[in-house]
Structure 1
Amino acid sequence: MVKIPKVTRRKAIYLGGTTLATTLLTGWLRHPKSLKAYAARKGLLYGSAAAYSKLSENQEFARRFIEECAILTPENDLKWHKIHPKPNDYDFSRGDWLAEFAKRHKLKMRGHTLVWHQSIPKWLKETANPQNAESILKEHIMTVAGHYQGLIHSWDVVNEAIEVRDGHPLGLRKSPWFQWLGKDYIDIAFRVAAEADPHALLFYNDYDLDYDIPHQNAKREAVLNLLRSLKEQGTPIHGLGIQAHLSGPETRFNAEKLKQFLADVASLDLKIMVTEMDVYDRGLPYDYEKRDRRIAEVYEMYLNTVLEEPNVIGVLTWGLSDRYTWLSKHRPRNDKAPVRPLPLDREFKPKLAWESIANSFASST
């Protein structure tokens, strides 16, 4: 059973008329549950990203992951540079270990990701061109998705194909894949993935879709237009992954705009998953209590909005514990204090963020 930290001295958290109610916290203390249990009661999946190296080396972390999560995203272990490091070489060792871990502990598994501009290995950059890129792309997807056929709940087939600041009229990122194949690479990737793993859900995944700021407003519109275009041409796409890398200091959140975007996505008969959620704390006070309170508020505010959309089927955080978070390296605090963006602390104990996520699941309709 999970050991729950004392919360009796904490004041209720208020935000926008909602509260982490005393009655809920009292019931939670009497009957501690996992986040996956709270989610399952609402027909949702809760899970997290985790790396082979951490799950295989730290038994306590693996135990807590199994307790809290119903679905696993391999953090980097299925990305191209890891799994296809040389032209004729595939390394499935880490992915296979994770697939067996998921199967053994009755977890679902996501596939992340088949096409992403940041995971292109050196050999591919040196050899790909407009003449051979399509065959290379198809061969990679058929091999990787085919290898895990029947083991994957959902694939992030294409990751982060929109970048409105690149200046393309459709908002497309001028990535190597775009330069080699034009916009058709997205449709190609989905069609090959559907052939290779016909029972998996196929998602487009992206970030910066969360706040009411000019860049993100434009990006939501571009993503929606991309999804409409894919549906119109019969691309076998089943859902949108919203990464939800959120900011603790950011206040420009517009619940109505986000709900309308989600409704527009759902109107295309697409499922929605929050795929990489965390809340970075750079810019928040050093004081842990104040920091944790604000991070908890952000989780609850965001999830209370997103979970109103019936087509949302799951929520995954990008990491479960503050001990293992990409933000330690990529968004460190200026005061050098350890970052605290995730549901569990560095000792794998639940924090206020855990409570907020549980509360959002419990109160969702």
Structure 2
Amino acid sequence: MSLRLRAGLITTAVVGAGAVILAQGAAFASVPATPPAAPGHQTSAPADSLRSLASRVGLRIGTAVNTDALASDSDYRSIAATQFSTVTPENVMKWDTIEPTQGAYNWAPADQLVAFAQQNGQLVRGHTLVWHNQLPAWLTAAAPSMTPDQLRAVLKKHITDEVTHFKGKIWQWDVVNEAFNDDGTLRDSIWLQKLGPGYIADAFRWAHAADPKALLFYNDYNIEFTGPKSNAAYSLVQQLKAQGVPIDGVGFQTHLDTQYGLPDLQNNLQRFSALGLKVAETEVDVRTTLPVTAVEQNAQVGGYTSTLQACLAVRDCISYTVWGFGDGYSWVPAVFAGEGAADIYDENLQPKAEYTALQQTLALAAGAQQRGGGDRH
């Protein structure tokens, strides 16, 4: 199969081999039983589906969607519709797909995903407006000779045009994606080189002007761990808030690996929340070396369990999104040699122990208390 991959991703970390599968005594925040409905028909989901269980604890649970698979694989389409209450486009809202030729827009694939979400009563996370990867060839060729004013105008037009096109149809936008290096310095992208660090605030202002009702997120990886990168992201959003920049939340990608330790994710979600921001886990998967041993799968189960528990424990964590759900469509093997099996369904789209771990964690949360007196959305 043909699968476009996110280039230049992650040195990420995550799960110790002895991870606990289910922490029965985890503390969960209080939220209402039913999140707001998305427009359109509400898909009939089984009572034990992730979608139904998450709704009982006031959480939106989502997946990134490969739109080629959505069109060609009926099993994939059925799972995407019934198991999840939000969808994120893997690629079809990225700039190189949206505007492959300057001034010529290719909205159709993203429009089809939005229509699918509306048909199934799902919300949409828009991904992503400003990134250093998957830029159209015409832009990467022209950018070095552009003046700062010219490049700023191109970026403003892109953000304004895309957000305007989807106005009223996007719940959360990843406005700026992966602006930091792991050492906490700003990434040396064309945006930083030409526009300086102020491009980040500008991007949020332009997106807000185009759709004032969409929630606007900064999104990054490795900020699940306290350290230079997480601290830099914290300082950035703290400054944006202080300056009155319209930022609503921070997305923690949460790409994990069983060869590393678990992050102090709940603490990081909470400290960003304390700034008055929503938080979300936006791209969760847990990769491991192949072939998978029982010990490694136990660690993967522990990774999924602990990341979901961290979100449930923080009231302002409004969504938990896995980065795809089937191993046969995963980006991991082509990027990390010898690794894979990162998703919650296997290559035949059968649920794995990782799926059951999410299912059981949600069921435990729902059974632990009657959720009320607050709203994640």
TM-score of the pair, normalised by structure 1: 0.84
The alpha carbon displacement at 1:361 in A equals 2.3
- 1:271 matched to which residue of 2? 278
- 2:372 matched to which residue of 1? none
Q: In the alignment, does 2:295 pair up with 1:303?
A: no
- Work out whether residues 163 and 171 of structure 1, in 8 Å CA contact, stay in contact via their aligned partners in 2: yes
Give distance in 2, aligned partners of 1:248 and 1:355. 18
Matches within 5 A, 1:28-67: 33-67=48-82
1:140-171 Cα shifts (integer Å, max 9, x gaps): 11111100001111100000011144xxxx72
- 1:317 matched to which residue of 2? 322
Matches within 5 A, 1:66-77: 66-77=81-92
1:26-51 Cα shifts (integer Å, max 9, x gaps): xxxxx861111111111000010012
- 2:203 matched to which residue of 1? 189
Unpaired runs of at least 5, structure 2: 1-17, 26-45, 370-377
1:2-58 Cα shifts (integer Å, max 9, x gaps): xxxxxxxxxxx97288369xxxxxxxxxx8611111111110000100121110111
- 2:212 matched to which residue of 1? 198
Q: In the alignment, does 2:333 pair up with 1:328?
A: yes
Give distance in 2, aligned partners of 1:254 and 1:244. 9
Q: Percent of aligned positions with the same letter in both sequences?
A: 34
Q: In the alignment, does 2:159 pair up with 1:141?
A: yes
Q: In the alignment, does 2:117 pair up with 1:102?
A: yes
Q: Which letter maps to 2:185? A: G
Q: In the alignment, does 2:234 pair up with 1:230?
A: no
The alpha carbon displacement at 1:271 in A equals 0.4
Residue 15 of structure 1 aligns to a residue whose secondary structure is coil
- 1:172 matched to which residue of 2? 186
The alpha carbon displacement at 1:294 in A equals 2.1
- 2:172 matched to which residue of 1? 154
1:94-120 Cα shifts (integer Å, max 9, x gaps): 111111111111111111000000122
- 1:7 matched to which residue of 2? none
1:282-313 Cα shifts (integer Å, max 9, x gaps): 2x6x3454433221111112322332111101
What is the total number of aligned residue pairs between the two structures?
A: 326
The alpha carbon displacement at 1:328 in A equals 2.2
What is the root-mean-square deviation of aligned Cα atoms in Å? 2.1
Question: CA 1:32–1:292 in structure 2 vs 1: closer, same or farther (change >3 Å)?
Answer: farther
Where do 4+ consecutive residues of structure 1 move more than 6 Å? Answer: none
TM-score of the pair, normalised by structure 2: 0.82
Q: Which letter maps to 2:240? A: L
- 2:344 matched to which residue of 1? 343
Question: CA 1:33–1:178 in structure 2 vs 1: closer, same or farther (change >3 Å)?
Answer: same
- Work out whether residues 164 and 173 of structure 1, in 8 Å CA contact, stay in contact via their aligned partners in 2: no
Give distance in 2, aligned partners of 1:281 and 1:275. 19
The alpha carbon displacement at 1:133 in A equals 0.9
Question: CA 1:254–1:316 in structure 2 vs 1: closer, same or farther (change >3 Å)?
Answer: closer
Q: Greater shift after overlay, 303-312 or 80-89?
A: 303-312
- Work out whether residues 76 and 82 of structure 1, in 8 Å CA contact, stay in contact via their aligned partners in 2: yes
- 1:3 matched to which residue of 2? none
Q: In the alignment, does 2:139 pair up with 1:132?
A: no
Give distance in 1, aligned partners of 2:311 and 2:303. 12
Unpaired runs of at least 5, structure 1: 1-12, 21-30
